[in-house]
Amino acid sequence: MRINIHEIPPSGKDYCLTKADSWVAEVINRAGFECYDNFSSRIHVVRNRDNVVFSGTMNGGIKLICSRCCEPYSFVIDRDFLSTYCRYYERRGAIREEVKLTKGDLDLTFFNGEEIDLAELLNEQLQLAMPYRPVCREDCKGICSYCGKDLNFGDCNCEKRNWGLKLSSLLSNVTPGKAGIQD
Ligand SMILES: [Zn+2]
Ligand SMILES: [Zn+2]
C-alpha cells in the first residue's frame, strides 16, 4: 500500500494494519512466515518537510522453526519501532545538507518520488523483529546428531554408546604393564 507524502495532514495520520488486509498477509507470506490470526500493526506517520517518520507497534504470533529441534513453534512479536524516511537527492549523489543525522535516526531509509510503500516498511520491521537464531524455548535440548532423536522427549543411548566406544579404544591402546592392569 503506497501512501502519498503530500496527503499526510500536519497532525499526522494513523494506520491500523491487520492480516485481514490482503497486502499485509501477502507481505508476511512473501517474507516466508506463516502467521497466526492475531497479527496487527498500528502506525502513526508524520511528515516534516522531506522527512517522514513512522512510529508504530507490531504484535502477533508468527510460526517459526526451532533451530535446535526443527519443530515449528509460535514466536510472539511485541515490538515498538521508529523508522525515518528521508528524501534522497540525486544531485551530485549527495544528501541535502539540511538533513542532519542524529542518534535517533539510526533506522533511516531513503526514498525518491512522492510515495512511500507501507509494504516495504512492514517487511523491514518484520525482518527486524525476528530472532537471529530461533529457539522454541531457552532450554530446548535439540536433536541428537547421531540418531536424530528429539532429546526433549528423553535421552537416547548415543552418548553412552560413544563413551563406551571411546573407552574400549582407549583400553585397547593400553598395555597391561604400563597401566597396571592385570588379568
Ligand atoms: Zn526446539
Ligand atoms: Zn542419539
CA of 67 to the centre of ligand 1 (A): 7
pLDDT in tens, 54-81: 999 999 988 899 999 999 999 999 999 9
Residue 136 placed within a domain = no
CA of 183 to the centre of ligand 1 (A): 48
Q: Residue 102 — pLDDT band, cuts 50, 70, 90? A: low
- pLDDT value at position 33? 84
Spatial distance between the Cα atoms of 90 and 112, rounded to a whole number of angstroms:
9
Same domain, 74 and 105: yes
Same domain, 148 and 106: no
Non-local (6+) Cβ contacts of 150 within 8 A are: 69, 71, 141, 142, 143
This prediction has a pTM of 0.71
CA of 133 to the centre of ligand 2 (A): 23
- pLDDT value at position 122? 93
pLDDT in tens, 119-138: 999 999 999 999 999 999 99
Q: What range defines the domain where residue 164 resides?
A: 143-183
Residue 137 placed within a domain = no
Question: What residues are paired with 117 via a beta bridge?
Answer: 2
Same domain, 37 and 123: yes
Instruction: Give the total number of structural domains in the chain.
Output: 2
Helix (H/G/I), strand (E/B), else coil: 10: coil
Same domain, 96 and 177: no
Q: Could you tell me the three cell numbers for 39?
A: 497479527
Residue 22 placed within a domain = yes
**8 A C-beta contact, residue 77 and residue 88:** no
- pLDDT value at position 4? 93
- pLDDT value at position 17? 93
